[in-house]
Structure 1
């Protein structure tokens, strides 16, 4: 229990006799007098004169303690609430105080100073701590110290000249903070583990891709060693069983059935040929002397002809057809008129390298995505979206040869998430990581440095290369920073940059419509999110439409009519409408 601190040390009546002497005072004690009517007077510390003592109106003398007092206490009965009044601080305080107005102390009859001082501190502390979260105990302490940096006079005649608080979360708040720290540690550990798993998956995908390429090259080497000669069905089965001995029973059964069918076919052809020759000779259509010379010409149109040829070595592996397949049915009859225009060419085979490649060129596509800290809340949506784009191109095998895809992430620096390459099975799927402020200038500088060598490398492979397309997705505002304008101008200026790309720009979140409209190289190429659209939904719609736009442009290229006509994603509108 806290011991009381009396400020009124003594109360004595004033001796009014002629021979009574006034008692003296000490420096740390103030003397206050009260009249019979209750009026209080402080005479500056001097004692009463003889006449004032004998004939004056003062009836009672109060000795008031004027010393400096320092106390340490814990405010247990009045816990201090944090922001929201859900969690509380435990408070202990070192306080220094003294009496400033002894007359007011007497007038208010303050017997114990501690309730007055502690009550004032608790109320004042409570007002301050309500402005801070439970995690901000240090900041709350500093705010209290600033509030009591100067002396504080209380209406009770007491001055507080020193306050040194110490705040700690109470038991419930401590338990909450411990759980929060453990959860953050667990989240960080899971993020690190996820990054490790992603890296392992990427490495495994790269290894699988290398193994696949090795198998393809080994097959090509085997076929080359055979001189690319024609293989019979038996030789092809033997080649398969050398690699897959577990298929022996089924393969041999199918081979025997095939050879039996070939024998039966030859027998039927022999019988038909014999009957035909007999008929022609019996009817005197064919003379014996002409038999040998006329036989091949007469049997050819009837389908007898030579025996079936062996299967070509080139059919041992799958090759993409050179034209778009028809709808089925029998082949068209021969015509003596002009040949019809062929359907859109998909691939052509280089006679020197035996490699299939797009006939009407390839379309380089650069996807540039904002991964600055400002879009941090949506980085998961951006990564999910680029995975969906990658998967969509993997499934669209008909357009894969015509598209070369590169993915870049930009913040304070630019990171190549996927170099320019054809999307095939085993290729790396990109991802994004939130980091730093967005630098549009670095993004355009990187495109300037990267596009030209990429295009030159494609042309070195004797490919026809279309003008690159850049799809830029941004969610941040560069503010007053206009440093991006110069590299952007050099990037899109076709008079100085021979590979100047078309840029399709989309903005969400904090990306201003004016910026998006300025970046898009055509007015119909700039889109911004509608204000009533949820950002997560808008990002998902963007990636869905981007995959459709890329696949559509790829198919247009394959059909021989390349055209860039991007459709706006659902939930977006033209930026120029807003500007």
Structure 2
């Protein structure tokens, strides 16, 4: 009689070592009525799960294989027990329904209990694990705003394991981690807002500089207005008391102002002295005042001579005068 394990399996994934598996059950063979399981032509690193008509499952982990028909098996399942990676992204809600977290998920899974996995009936391990992870993480991330991705990530990594190891109820062992970020649209929106903030800050600095210049010019205008109103000298004195660094400019301005006043006075004196048509006795008083004014004006430009210094007089010898 033909050995059922030597013929083509009833179901075969045709998977090799480089295949990306989603179902670790590689082949399924239905056995004959005698239920014998002779030498199995499978890879040594695969497990065999033999089922009975009563729903029992016997597992033969590599390198062990069934040698005697202790039970009447109805089917044999060839199960891959290697480690398989899953790298994908899912979306999880934030506290604002308008935004979602973009979550990078990394899972490394393998079959830990082949009989339990066969009995579970699952055929898509990544979907099973991702669905379990998503259901556990959704109520956690919903507590956080989209801007708090770091806090949401920490909460997920802390809360999900409390519900039990991922995939354990299906006979799987899984190591997993997640990275929670704002979704791409929100990240782009945040970058645009950041650019706007930077440009606004630059505009504020520029306008602040322009305002300072305007304020300085306004102060200068106010000063010169007060300078004209108060007669110049008093205003300059007040200004120099507050800004001594402007003394050079002040002295130059005062000298020029004084020089102008003197020139105007000299012109007036000259005009009076040269004026004719009046009687001598009428001009006499004016001439005396003009000459006196002229001497006063000219005296400002002629340095005073120091008083003559005579020989020293010894004490007690004052020329006979007391």
| TM-score (ref. length: structure 1) | 0.32
* Contact 2:35–2:73 (8 Å) recurs in 1: no
Q: Greater relative contact order: 1 or 2 (C-alpha under 8 angstroms, separation 6 or more)?
A: 2
SS across alignment from 1:50: coil
Residue 83 (str. 1) matches residue 95 (str. 2): yes
> Hey, what does 2:119 align to over in structure 1?
107
Structure 1 CA distance for aligned equivalents of residues 148 and 131 of structure 2: 23
Is residue 47–residue 60 contact of structure 2 (8 Å, CA) maintained in 1? no
Residues 494-551 of structure 1: CA deviation (Å, up to 9, x unaligned): xxxxxxxxxxxxxxxxxxxxxxxxxxxxxxxxxxxxxxxxxxxxxxxxxxxxxxxxxx
Q: Secondary structure at the match of 1:152?
A: coil
Match of 1:126 among 138, 144, 147: 138
Q: How does 1:38-57 map to 2 (within 5 A)?
A: 38-42=55-59, 44=61, 46-52=64-70, 56-57=71-72
1:64 to 72, 79, 83: 79
Equivalent position of 2:175 in the other structure: 161
Q: What does residue range 214-253 of structure 1 map to in structure 2 within 5 Å?
A: 214-218=227-231
| In 1: Cα distance, 2:227 partner to 2:35 partner | 127
* Partners of 2:131 and 2:107 in 1: CA distance: 12
Per-residue CA distance 1:275-309 (angstroms, 9 max, x = gap):
xxxxxxxxxxxxxxxxxxxxxxxxxxxxxxxxxxx
SS in structure 2 at match of 1:153: coil
Q: Report Cα offsets for 1:330-363 as digits up to 9, x if no partner.
A: xxxxxxxxxxxxxxxxxxxxxxxxxxxxxxxxxx
Question: Is the CA contact (8 Å cut-off) linking 2:52 and 2:75 kept in structure 1?
Answer: yes
1:539 corresponds to: none
> 1:155-176: per-residue Cα shift (whole Å, max 9, x none)?
22222213354645233x2453
Question: 8 Å contact 1:34–1:60 — kept in the other structure?
Answer: yes
Alignment CA distance shift 1:4-1:149 (3 Å) = same
- The 8 Å contact of residues 59 and 114 in structure 2, kept in 1 or not, is answered as yes
Distance 2:214 2:92 in 1: 52
- Using the TM superposition, give the Cα deviation of residue 84 of structure 1 relative to its aligned residue in structure 2, in angstroms: 1.5
Shift of 1:59: 2.4
1:102 Cα shift? 1.5
Is the partner of 2:170 in helix, strand or coil? Answer: coil
2:105 match: secondary structure? strand
State the distance in 2 between where 1:158 and 1:118 align: 13
The whole-number CA distance in structure 2 between the counterparts of 1:19 and 1:69 is: 32
Task: Determine the structure 1 residue equivalent to 2:109.
Answer: 97
Alpha-carbon distance in structure 1 between the residues aligned to 2:82 and 2:57 = 21
Contact 1:99 1:158 in 2 (8 A): yes
Cα shift at 1:116: 0.9
Report the CA distance between 1:68 and its aligned residue.
0.1
- 1:560 matched to which residue of 2? none
Instruction: Find the counterpart in structure 2 of residue 181 from structure 1.
Output: 194
Q: 1:147 to 1:69 in 2, by over 3 A?
A: farther
Q: Give 1:180 deviation, angstroms.
A: 2.5
Q: Give the match's secondary structure for 2:189.
A: helix
Alpha carbons 1:148, 1:162 under 8 Å: kept:
no
**Match for residue 34 of structure 1 among 26, 46, 51:** 51
Q: 1:72 to 1:139 in 2, by over 3 A?
A: same
Unaligned runs of 5+ in 1: 223-579
CA distance in 1, matches of 2:122, 2:55: 16
Measure, in 2, the Cα distance between the counterparts of 1:220 and 1:7.
102
* CA displacement at 1:87 relative to structure 2: 1.0
Q: Map of 1:101-500 to 2, 5 A cutoff?
A: 101-137=113-149, 140-141=152-153, 144=156, 152-154=165-167, 155-165=169-179, 167-171=181-185, 173-218=186-231
Alpha carbons of 1:165 and 1:30: their partners in 2 closer, same or farther (altered >3 Å)? farther
| 1: CA distance, partners of 2:216 / 2:110 | 74
Work out whether residues 36 and 69 of structure 2, in 8 Å CA contact, stay in contact via their aligned partners in 1.
no
Aligned residue pairs, count: 214
SS at structure 1 position matched to 2:231: helix
Unaligned stretches of 5+ residues in structure 2: 1-19, 236-322
Is contact 2:34-2:72 (8 Å) kept?
no
TM-score by length of 2: 0.53
- The answer to whether the 8 Å contact 2:50/2:73 transfers is yes
